[in-house]
Structure formats: structure tokens, C-alpha cells
Amino acid sequence: MSKTLVTLHVNERAYEVAVRPQDTLALALRDGCGLTGTKVGCDLGTCGCCTVLVDGRPVLGCLTLALEVEGRRIETIEGLAGAERLHPVQKAFAECGGSQCGYCTPGFVMTSVALLRTNGAPSRDEIKEAIAGNLCRCTGYAKIVDAVEQAATELRQAGNEASPTTDAHRSGGSNDARLQGRRQPATARR
């Protein structure tokens, strides 16, 4: 099948990408846009590794055709961090140990960002429900839930919305969470 030149609006930037009808969004982002932060795990919608936001809603990049999202606003993990500072959700994942091998982390972070935009103070059960479509084989989930809780608190305190266009986190500060001090292990706080 011939390729079609489409414009994908990713992280507030337009990418011209040649895609075939059967190319998924995950494939187009990784191979076409060079945005390899979006991972592909099961490629069948089960693991959630490939989660990106389309018009603010979390979708599975592996089961979305690239041609179907032409002209839509797409956000990937690369669009969250500012030049010098992590997004609060990324920072919380790093500080809480919500990421170990890291392969599933972009998906979890994007799902969490979407959750916190609609629910600024989710309960632990609401967090668990929201991330039920994302699988992690390392952490056992407790630290991920801790991270989302911490990010929610930080965002509330900062009076921010977890939006890449409005976040105050985009300017200033260190971009290395390791320098910012880790929190106590999750088990000690629960």
C-alpha cells in the first residue's frame, strides 16, 4: 500500500510523516517522528505501555491508526518535561520509586497526567482504577500509586494544572530528580 503524507500535531509541534494505512500511532510516533519515549509492549492493547494523549484523553497508540488522528492534538512523554525541570508526575515517579526497569513508565505517566487533569485529588482506589489498563512487572504498583498521590498533592499545592502548556514546572529548577532527594520508601508511609 502506498504511503500518505500526514501532519501529526505532537507536543505542540507539527510533524510531517509518511504513513501507510495500517501504521499505528505508536509506530508513527517512534519511526516517523523519532519520539521513541512511547514504548510498545504487547502491541495488543493489554499493557498500556504505548499510552499517549489524544485531545487530552489517554489512548492506546498500538490500537490507534495514525491516519485516524491526523489534525488531533497528540501529547507524548517527551512533551511533559520542561527544559530544566521534570513534570510533577515524572518527578514523583522518580522520587517514589514508581519506575524500575522503566519500560512501562511512559504509559503510566501519561495515564496519570490525564487522570490528574480531570481529578485533582483522586483516592487510592480511583488511582488504581485509572491505571488498571497499564501493566508493570517490576514495582508491584504500590509505589506507582504513591507517585500519583504525591504528584496530585504537588500539583494542588502549586495550583497548577498538569498541562504541558500551562505548567509552571517548565521553567527553572533542576531536571535531575536524583539531586532533589528521595522520599522515604512507600512502605514506611502507608
Partner 1 sequence: MMILPEFDLLRPRSVDEAVAAARRTSGAFDYLGGGTDLLCNYKWGINANPTVISLRHIGELNERQGGSLGGGLTLAELEADEDFLHDFPAFRRTLARLASPLIRQTGTLAGNILVDTRCIWLNQSAFARRALGNCLKADGPECRVVKGSTDRCYANYSGDMAPVFMVYGAEIRLAGPDGERTLPLTEFFSLDGRTRNVKAPEEIVVALDLPGDARTLRASYQKFRVREAWDFPELAVAASARMDGDRIEELSLVASAVASIPLWMDEIAAKYVGRTLDDETIDAVAGDMFKASRPVRATLLPPGYRKHMVRVMTTRALREIRGDAVPVPAAAM
Residue ranges that bind partner 1, judged by CB under 8 A? 1, 20-24, 27, 40, 42-45, 48, 51, 57-60, 62-65, 67-68, 111, 125, 128-134, 141
Report CA-CA distances (Å) from 161 to 62, 83, 156, 158.
27, 18, 8, 9
C-beta of 64 vs 90, nearer to partner 1 = 64
Which residues make Cβ contacts (< 8 Å) with residue 54, sequence separation at least 6? Answer: 25, 64, 69, 72, 73, 74
Q: Which residues pair with 17 in a beta bridge?
A: 6
Minimum distance of partner 1 from residue 36's CB (angstroms): 13
Minimum distance of partner 1 from residue 70's CB (angstroms): 10
Q: Which residues pair with 160 in a beta bridge?
A: none
C-beta of 42 vs 158, nearer to partner 1 = 42
Backbone angles phi, psi at 64, to 5 degrees: -120, 125
C-beta of 99 vs 134, nearer to partner 1 = 134
C-beta of 19 vs 92, nearer to partner 1 = 19
